[in-house]
Amino acid sequence: MRLAIFLVLCSLTFSTIAQQQEENTQQEASESKPAEQETAQPKDQSAASGEQSSPVAEVAPPISVKSLHEHDANWQLSKEILSPMLVGTEDIITLTQSDALALNRGVAVLVPDWHQSVTSPKAINFLRKDLPQKGWTTITVQPPAKPDNYPSSASKESQRNTENEQTISSYKEAITPILQAVFNKAQEYPGVFVVISEGNNAAIIMDIVQQQQLPAPNGIVLLSAHMESLSDNLKFAQIMSESDTPVLDLVLSKDNRWAEHYAPIRKQHAQKALKTFYRQRQLQNTVTGYYPEKALASAFKSWLVSTGW
């Protein structure tokens, strides 16, 4: 009897506790609903009123390499040597420095590679400053920037050659009017007219001159001349060997791999074609791609003497 009474009391106790917990749960749920409604209401009101979230800041596109080179030239160089030239509708940066001697030797047009500025430290900047002290007027021109899609990365060789040819053809169309204006200006000066060009632009200028799209200078100096594809380098070697223009082909002991590999091939083509006024010299350097100043000046001077200038 006592056990039955104890079981009944336990059952009533557990039932009371369960009922109390259920009431507490319902009360908490009823208290949280108004808070949720209050929280959701501003969102609904803002959506209904048509209010927009704060705009995301737009990132400006990167500045072109050509603009950076022009900005650097305007900021670093004296206004006395800066001589912008209007070619079509575009202003081209050129640096003109007159000879510092009574005896005028001539004019040298300096063209850095397509990824270098008019103050390229590899060789152009030194020649720009050094040649006027030896009787030369120098005109340094900022070339167009390197094409984005050169060399081609197509899987098939035929497609790569076709795309490279189209890219270089477009680049020639861009640089030819610039060189035409600079060459015409150079011919206004007395004396010898020499073009000193670097890298890919050395090969491209050689081609343009050979095609008679530009007046032929008295001589061309090539600094680490090369293109960036096998077929373009072989074509360059053939064009150079067919040219009647005297050429000084300078390479470095530590140079661009394209220049190192194809310089001997250009020499072979020149010898086979019996190109009399062709000289190739290798200069010893310590930093890859950078010309030793004294050796560069000496090579240029001895070449002028060998050609009778």
pLDDT tens sequence across 27-65: 554 555 444 444 444 444 544 555 556 666 676 666 665
Q: What is the pLDDT of residues 132-185, one digit of tens each?
A: 999 999 999 999 999 989 999 999 999 999 999 999 999 999 999 999 999 999
Q: Which of 9-23, 71-85, 223-237, 261-275 has the lowest mean pLDDT?
A: 9-23
The set of residues, in sequence order, having a beta carbon less than 8 Å from that of 145 and lying 6+ positions away, is: 64, 65, 66, 69, 114, 115
Give the pLDDT confidence score for residue 295 in this predicted structure.
Answer: 97
For residue 136, list its beta bridge partners: 106
CA angle (284 as vertex; 263, 192 as ends), nearest 5 = 65
Task: Please give the span between the terminal C-alpha atoms of the chain, in angstroms, as a whole number.
Answer: 137
Give the pLDDT confidence score for residue 178 in this predicted structure.
Answer: 95
pLDDT band for position 309 (cuts 50, 70, 90): confident
**For the chain, give me the number of helices (H) and strands (E)?**
8, 9
Q: Is the pLDDT reported for residue 22 higher than 90?
A: no
Higher pLDDT, 270 or 39: 270
Q: Which of 17-26, 36-45, 48-57, 260-269 has the lowest mean pLDDT?
A: 36-45
Which of 254, 112, 224, 230 is CA-nearest to residue 164?
230
Topology at the third CATH level for domain 65-306: Rossmann fold (3.40.50)
pLDDT band for position 84 (cuts 50, 70, 90): confident
pLDDT band for position 104 (cuts 50, 70, 90): confident
Give the pLDDT confidence score for residue 308 in this predicted structure.
Answer: 87
Give the pLDDT confidence score for residue 92 in this predicted structure.
Answer: 87
- Which structure tokens are listed for 188? 């206004």
The set of residues, in sequence order, having a beta carbon less than 8 Å from that of 5 and lying 6+ positions away, is: none
Highest mean pLDDT (candidates 4-8, 35-39, 40-44, 235-239): 235-239
Q: What is the pLDDT of residues 183-229, one digit of tens each?
A: 999 999 999 999 999 999 999 999 999 999 999 999 999 999 999 99
What value does the mean pLDDT take over residues 261-290? 96
Give the pLDDT confidence score for residue 36 in this predicted structure.
Answer: 47
C-alpha–C-alpha distance, residues 222 and 174, integer Å? 21
Q: What is the pLDDT of residues 105-135, one digit of tens each?
A: 999 999 999 989 988 899 999 999 999 999 9
Q: HSE-up of 91 (CA within 13 Å, CB side)?
A: 9
Return the percent helix, strand and coil in the chain, to nearest 5.
Answer: 50, 15, 35
